Chain A
Amino acid sequence: MKKKLRDFIFQELVFVAEPNQFGDDDDLLEAGLDSMGIMRLIMYIENEFGVTLPDTEIEPDNVQSFNALERWILRHKNA
């Protein structure tokens, strides 16, 4: 899952010098993920992983890092 998220975010949404050096806990918002990026990311996640992410949970804490994203998705995938 993280590999897919990394590929999508680094190819489509956020420009980083060396994606391999970007840690799973590094700050995506600081790296340039903005509100339009989040909207595309959520649409991608819902399609790709077959989950519905509740509107009220779309907030910085849940999209801050790859680890945060994975935790968020898994909470809904297993629910």
Chain B
Amino acid sequence: MPLLTAFDRQCRNAPDRPALIEGERRLSYREVMLNSERLAAHLAARIEPGARVALALDRGIDAIIAILSVLRCGACYIPLDIKNPARRLRFIVNDAVVHCIIGRGNPPDWLDTPALWLDIDRLPESAQSFYPPAAIDPEALAAILYTSGSTGTPKGVALSHRALHNFADWATLTFKLKADDRIASLAPFYFDLSVFDIFSSLSAGASVNFVPAGLTLSPSRLTAWLLEQRITVFYTVPSLLGFIALKGGLTEQPLPDLTTLLFAGEVFPTPQLKKLCELLPETDFYNLYGPTETNVCCYWPVDRARLDGDQPIPIGHPACASELKIDAESSELLVNSVNNLSGYWRQGRLTEALEDGGYYRTGDKVSLNKRGEYCYHGRLDRMLKCSGYRVEPAEIEALILQCPEVAGCAVVGIEDSTSGQRPAAALVLHPDGQLNGIVKTIKQALPAYMQPCRLSVMDALPLLDNGKTDYQTLQRQLERH
């Protein structure tokens, strides 16, 4: 199986090297191999190759063992955000039509079919051995990552073994990962950034060091941890790096071991990036770009000499051997890449997501500068980026419109210098309609980053001449609010 071929080689050649480090717990490559085969043996008794297995585990050693065992069985993993409201978790599990859910402890209340639950702490004591399935088709699905959907419900981005392998391999080579690298893992596994942390790291024989939960709330403790663990490579989102630049205490404790810093997911404001570059003079920075559907399709090794005032940095050159083109009329970026998704997973089956010729329409507006680098100019549709998460306003609107008190609703993004955007909602209520019920519904159905920071009741939504909602005017109104 190409996705795990390099990892398997590391297990054979250097079985005693550290692979996964989480607090005091350390697993060598041999132990990771043994543990994942043990779990795979139990899984293989319950599922067939091609099955879908959800993970109700936090980022960490156990979740990686689970992912490796799912892939060994020829199945596909679906990482859940277990902090999501029950209603959203139930939707995803039902939409994916999963065959098994790996978790810890008793089956949670939101699970309609408790028989699907596999508790990793109570695996039956059978001594069966694991026989891997015959060769796995590279087109078989390896992961489905659920993200906010513009049709009103979350949608699953379905990624094949081929797609994950292509990206993992490119990143291992491009960033020259080595066996003595120590790579910090912070991104939750339902984010595509985690593909690097898991598969590129293990392919290189490096160690994956899990950033303890809670450190993102304390930038100086996070930098102290990076220093103490002697982290060499870190891939994360600009908003967190901006926090570190401002409040991470890097003047007192620089990070001499950090050779490579990768960032993606949102635009890094140039003044903050410049500040961080000054604080970490020996570190190479890379701006990686691409939606979950293409993973990284463009990248720019940060040229410190070109960080100038507020001038945005480019997204750079094609990555992962992607073919890029720009729609002449709309300036939309189209991507043809081996990384591309196989389709969107909807209601138990794969639906088409690519155009003829295999191009994916990103919905992002781009241009080429004089140096031939791609530059990003925002969205063509209404998608928002909130604290690094993709949020479709239409998904929030669809939920609010289900409330009987609501006659009209529109959601826009309020610009925010530190966290990208925040959703804000304008509501038109039926006579005597109250906000309480609506607020309760939002709380029960949406994760925190999707909950509007403002609910503004209006007599009517502003309209354009053609009768459609005037989102630009609405945004100005809500920003003034």
| A32-B451 contact in complex given A15-B442, A37-B419, A40-B419, C-beta closer than 8 Å | yes
Q: Chain B residues near A18: list those with CB within 8 A.
A: 436, 439
| A59-B216 contact in complex given A17-B439, A32-B451, A36-B418, C-beta closer than 8 Å | no
Could you list which residues of chain A lie within 8 angstroms of chain B, going by C-beta atoms? 11-13, 15, 17-18, 29, 32, 34-40, 42-43, 55-56, 58-60, 63
- Other than the given A34-B217, A39-B239, 17 more pairs (CB < 8 A) read A15-B439, A15-B448, A17-B436, A32-B448, A32-B451, A34-B216, A34-B387, A34-B448, A34-B449, A35-B240, A38-B243, A39-B243, A39-B246, A40-B416, A55-B248, A55-B249, A59-B217
Distance between Cα atoms of A59 and B217 in the complex (Å): 6
Per the CB 8 Å criterion, the residue count for chain B at the interface is: 31
Q: Which residue of B lies closest to A43 (CB)?
A: B418
Instruction: Return B186 CB to nearest CB of chain A, in Å.
Output: 11
Indicate if the CB atoms of B214 and A60 lie closer than 8 Å.
Answer: yes
Q: Chain B residues near A60: list those with CB within 8 A.
A: 214, 217-218
Identify the 8 closest CB pairs spanning chains A and B, nearest first: A32-B448, A36-B419, A15-B451, A59-B218, A55-B249, A35-B216, A55-B220, A17-B439
Q: Which residue of A lies closest to B422 (CB)?
A: A12
Residue interface bits B221-260, CB-to-A below 8 A is 1, else 0: 1000000000000000001101100111100000000000
21 interchain pairs (CB within 8 A)? A13-B453, A15-B442, A15-B451, A17-B436, A17-B440, A17-B443, A18-B439, A32-B448, A34-B216, A34-B387, A34-B449, A35-B216, A36-B418, A38-B243, A39-B239, A39-B243, A39-B419, A55-B220, A55-B248, A56-B249, A60-B214
Q: Chain A residues near B439: list those with CB within 8 A.
A: 15, 17-18
Instruction: Return A19 CB to nearest CB of chain B, in Å.
Output: 10
Counting CB contacts under 8 A, is B219 at the interface? yes
Indicate if the CB atoms of B453 and A15 lie closer than 8 Å.
Answer: yes
Q: Chain A residues near B416: list those with CB within 8 A.
A: 40
Instruction: Return B447 CB to nearest CB of chain A, in Å.
Output: 9
Indicate if the CB atoms of B239 and A36 lie closer than 8 Å.
Answer: yes
**Residue from the list A12, A17, A58, A63 in contact with B247, Cβ < 8 A:** A58
Q: Which residue of A lies closest to B221 (CB)?
A: A59
Interface of chain B, helix or strand or loop or mixed?
helix
Distance between Cα atoms of A28 and B219 in the complex (Å): 18
Indicate if the CB atoms of A29 and B217 lie closer than 8 Å.
Answer: yes
Q: Chain B residues near A36: list those with CB within 8 A.
A: 239, 243, 387, 418-419
Distance between Cα atoms of A34 and B220 in the complex (Å): 16
| A55-B247 contact in complex given A11-B454, A15-B453, A40-B419, C-beta closer than 8 Å | yes
Q: Chain B residues near A29: list those with CB within 8 A.
A: 217
Q: Chain B residues near A39: list those with CB within 8 A.
A: 239, 242-243, 246-247, 418-419
Q: Chain B residues near A34: list those with CB within 8 A.
A: 216-217, 387, 448-449
Indicate if the CB atoms of B418 and A40 lie closer than 8 Å.
Answer: yes
Distance between Cα atoms of A56 and B220 in the complex (Å): 6
In chain B between 15 and 54, which residues have their CB closer than 8 angstroms to a CB of chain A?
A: none
Instruction: Return B145 CB to nearest CB of chain A, in Å.
Output: 20
Distance between Cα atoms of A70 and B400 in the complex (Å): 35
Q: Chain A residues near B218: list those with CB within 8 A.
A: 58-60
Instruction: Return B417 CB to nearest CB of chain A, in Å.
Output: 8
| A58-B220 contact in complex given A15-B443, A17-B443, A35-B243, C-beta closer than 8 Å | yes
Counting CB contacts under 8 A, is B60 at the interface? no
Instruction: Return A15 CB to nearest CB of chain B, in Å.
Output: 4
Counting CB contacts under 8 A, is B290 at the interface? no
Counting CB contacts under 8 A, is B265 at the interface? no
Which residue, A11, A13, A36, A38, has most C-beta atoms of chain B within 10 A? A36
Counting CB contacts under 8 A, is B154 at the interface? no
Distance between Cα atoms of A65 and B392 in the complex (Å): 30
| A63-B217 contact in complex given A34-B387, A36-B243, A56-B249, C-beta closer than 8 Å | yes
Distance between Cα atoms of A58 and B249 in the complex (Å): 11
Q: Which residue of B lies closest to A40 (CB)?
A: B418
Q: Which residue of B lies closest to A42 (CB)?
A: B247
Q: Which residue of A lies closest to B449 (CB)?
A: A34
Instruction: Return A64 CB to nearest CB of chain B, in Å.
Output: 10
Distance between Cα atoms of A15 and B425 in the complex (Å): 12
Indicate if the CB atoms of B452 and A15 lie closer than 8 Å.
Answer: yes
Q: Chain A residues near B418: list those with CB within 8 A.
A: 36, 39-40, 43
Indicate if the CB atoms of B453 and A12 lie closer than 8 Å.
Answer: yes
Q: Chain A residues near B219: list those with CB within 8 A.
A: 55, 58
Q: Chain B residues near A15: list those with CB within 8 A.
A: 439, 442-443, 448, 451-453
